Structure 1
Amino acid sequence: MHDDLWLNLSPLHNKEAILQRLKRVLDPELDQSVLELGFIKSIEAPNGHLTVETQLPTSWCSPNFAYMMAEDIRRELLRIDTVQEVTVRVQDNVMSAAIEAGVNSGKTFTEAFTGEAFENLGELRGLFLRKGYVKRQEALLRRLRDIGLSFEAICALKIKDVAYEGESCFLSLNPGQQVSIEPDMIVRDYLDRRAEIGLDFRPDAALFVDLAGKPVSSEQLEKYLVYARTVRLSLEANGSLCSALLEARKGQKQPIALL
């Protein structure tokens, strides 16, 4: 959904490197890339200074969500060797000025909004990372069921049973038997998030554990899948709503009046 992204880059910058970095930045609530959601409106870099303009679905999008995304955009782009400075612009948000001033000066959310009654950003980020973990886990579980694995076979899998070969991913079910998992990113995304939230990543650890780090048994898996599917559908519904609101916002010529 970034076909309408406006780019003005100097020969100094590698377009693909910039886009790859932005793909790593997620809407914390939706667990989707801000680039693919269409939240990046333009990127300008006539020299070593990158300016990124964002547009969120509504002008009243939560300041803490907007701050997290803007902060992550700046952090990711500053990791590119040819980028010396990054300025993030947040278009038409009720707190745009405060968000931009804080993010672009390197302040934390708490420093930028001292005294404001907002939720702790670290706790909020952790909550959404865990929801995203369950969503990614459900996608992998669904894929394994689709290729015919039983609950018992799924729950017997360990971290060490995952193997990569180039862009392909394989699971070892028993000695000499492997199944290919496509697309491989289903597995990679799940394991990346598992590591990010600090769950057991030792080779002998169960491949599927709940948010407390407890292995999911074959007897529990069917019920657990219902729970995980509910989390995934909730995030997807929110994502669809945000996409619709953003498309409406991009197409409108006059501000929407709130009654």
Structure 2
Amino acid sequence: MSISFLTRPADSDDAAVVGRVWEALRTVRDPELDNDVVSLDFVASCEVDEHRVAHVRLRLPTYFCAPNFAFLMVADAWDATSTVDGLSDVDVELIDHFAADAINRGVAARAGFVHSMAGTEVGEAVEELDTLRRQFTERALMAGTDLVVRPLAKAGSTPEELAAMTLGDAPDSEDLTRLRRRRRELGIPSSDEDPLVVDPSGRKVGVEALPLHLRKARSFQVGVDANTSICRGQLAVRYGLSTTDAS
């Protein structure tokens, strides 16, 4: 991947703009893998020209990655980059994908997924992607619960103790920060006083239901890990990256 300032030497302000673009892209994530497009190496290039227009090119592991996921990432990248101070415009495109033309036109026109796919060779879309986004955020919540709670259980916390814990009782970590974010995205309270283990509707999970809930949470995290490994390998093979580049 690359990110740079085009056509003139970068001064400190130019570098700050580029840095803000980079950080904005880190807020964009693959909905299935629950990881950001920068860490996944899905940013093929990100450049800012002399007119302070950001040009972002996104790539995916395969030519036939699901168009709904691809649309979400392109749209989110456009929205995130558009908030960066110091830019006059943004230009975000997906490359090397069978639905790239339809997705890029639709996102640029703010047309929505259904309208963007209508009449294209990609096929008709049945509905917009809000429901899909929520479903994968709920899965991310479950997977995140596993990452936070499993170490506590391994350290000796009993089911009764885990069921009684609040978010403030859990050790501070990146996984806990991510779990709080996913809860907020779902409209679930995420303060220190709120229960640590809740279901995707926000209801506290009691001690009797806890073992099954945690087994489900573990299965979601195993799925995320497996799919992430597959996607990293496919991306590395497709673009001739080393395993370090694609991780």
TM value normalised by structure 2: 0.85
Distance 2:34 2:126 in 1: 19
Question: Which of 123, 128, 142 pairs up with 1:134?
Answer: 142
Q: Answer yes or no: is 1:38 the counterpart of 2:41.
A: yes
**Could you say what secondary structure the match of 1:38 adopts?**
coil
Q: Answer yes or no: is 1:210 the counterpart of 2:199.
A: yes
Q: CA deviation at 1:81?
A: 0.9
Instruction: State whether residues 37 and 43 of structure 2, in contact with CA within 8 Å, keep that contact through their aligned partners in structure 1.
Output: yes
Q: Name the structure where strand makes up a greater proportion of residues.
A: 1
Distance 1:119 1:247 in 2: 33
Q: Answer yes or no: is 1:154 the counterpart of 2:162.
A: yes
Distance 1:200 1:45 in 2: 38
Distance 2:205 2:126 in 1: 31
Q: Answer yes or no: is 1:236 the counterpart of 2:240.
A: no
5 Å-filtered alignment, 1:92-111, equals: 92-111=96-115
CA RMSD after TM alignment? 2.0
Gaps of 5+ in 2: 242-247
**Could you say what secondary structure the match of 2:38 adopts?**
helix
Between 1:234-243 and 1:203-212, the stretch displaced more is 203-212
**Could you say what secondary structure the match of 2:203 adopts?**
coil
What per-residue deviation string (whole Å, max 9, x for no partner) do you get for residues 31-52 of structure 1?
1111111100101112310001
**Which residue in 1 is equivalent to 2:22?**
19
Q: Answer yes or no: is 1:195 the counterpart of 2:184.
A: yes
**Could you say what secondary structure the match of 1:36 adopts?**
coil
Gaps of 5+ in 1: 163-170, 172-178, 253-259
Instruction: State whether residues 199 and 205 of structure 2, in contact with CA within 8 Å, keep that contact through their aligned partners in structure 1.
Output: yes
Instruction: State whether residues 114 and 126 of structure 2, in contact with CA within 8 Å, keep that contact through their aligned partners in structure 1.
Output: no
**Which residue in 1 is equivalent to 2:53?**
49
5 Å-filtered alignment, 1:153-192, equals: 153-159=161-167, 162=168, 171=169, 181-182=171-172, 184-192=173-181
Instruction: State whether residues 13 and 82 of structure 1, in contact with CA within 8 Å, keep that contact through their aligned partners in structure 2.
Output: no
Q: CA deviation at 1:226?
A: 1.1
Q: Which amino acid aligns with 2:32?
A: E
Question: Which of 124, 137, 152 pairs up with 1:117?
Answer: 124
Q: In percent, how many aligned pairs have the same letter?
A: 28
TM value normalised by structure 1: 0.81
Residue-pair matches, total: 229
Q: Answer yes or no: is 1:227 the counterpart of 2:216.
A: yes
What per-residue deviation string (whole Å, max 9, x for no partner) do you get for residues 12-71 of structure 1?
242332222111111011111111111001011123100011110011111111110011
Distance 1:84 1:211 in 2: 39
Between 1:51-60 and 1:148-157, the stretch displaced more is 148-157
What per-residue deviation string (whole Å, max 9, x for no partner) do you get for residues 203-222 of structure 1?
75422111232211223222
**Could you say what secondary structure the match of 1:235 adopts?**
helix
**Which residue in 2 is equivalent to 1:61?**
65
Distance 1:141 1:117 in 2: 41
